[in-house]
A and B are shown apart, each in its own frame.
Chain A
Amino acid sequence: NAGVTQTPKFRILKIGQSMTLQCTQDMNHNYMYWYRQDPGMGLKLIYYSVGAGITDKGEVPNGYNVSRSTTEDFPLRLELAAPSQTSVYFCASTLAGPGELFFGEGSRLTVL
């Protein structure tokens, strides 16, 4: 099993551009999450999903959108990128909450 896979690992965006961070898991987990981590800080929850077709906002959803069309995939969309979205983004999954979260290796995004 590959676990949780995130792409890309690194990306530089210009202000106003859009992009999608990809996240896929091969563990048949129902619950998936997107977190962001700013330098020296803990992780903040952006969005989460408890199954295909179901998503909900976390602590810091503004400027982001998600979809969950399959159990495996949970992409995070950034519209109109802003410097404040410069961060490391982590995707995570678990079979059912609460439980052990499995994290991806992160996607480092810089907005200039």
Chain B
Amino acid sequence: DAKTTQPPSMDCAEGRAANLPCNHSTISGNEYVYWYRQIHSQGPQYIIHGLKNNETNEMASLIITEDRKSSTLILPHATLRDTAVYYCTNSGGSTLGRLYFGRGTQLTVWP
């Protein structure tokens, strides 16, 4: 199984940046890191993924350390609608698209 470690909960003031850390020290060299979020009990929603370089899209930025043992998801201007459980995942070495989800981080954005 892919092993990732995330803090169980974090909070952030609305309008501020939310920085969500993830430890994936056992990741192999060709594995991507993926981030998803789940709002209430809805289906998880893809946010971003990366391999080595930092990535940015319209939702978030992903910073991966040079040794690839950890990463940080950055929501630059958190809103109340960003309150969700955020999952850092990887494929455990598989090329079959399987992703392993831990318990994630409950992010609460407060007004």
Residues in A lying within 8 Å of B, measured CB to CB: 4, 31, 33, 35, 40-45, 48, 50, 56, 58-59, 88, 90, 92, 94, 96-106, 108
- Secondary structure at the B interface, as helix, strand, loop or mixed, is loop
Closest Cβ neighbor of B30 among chain A residues: A98
Instruction: Give complex CA distance A45, B100 in Å.
Output: 7
* 8 A Cβ contacts from B86-111 to A: 87, 91, 94-104
What 10 new A-B contacts, CB under 8 Å, besides A41-B103, A42-B104, A45-B99? A31-B97, A35-B101, A40-B103, A42-B87, A45-B98, A45-B100, A48-B96, A59-B100, A97-B94, A98-B95
Contact A105 B103 (CB under 8 A): no
* A-B contacts, CB under 8 A, total: 69
Taking CB atoms, residues of chain A closer than 8 Å to B44 are 43, 90, 92, 101, 103
Chain B residues within 8 Å of A33, by CB: 97-98
**B11 CB–A CB distance under 8 Å:** no
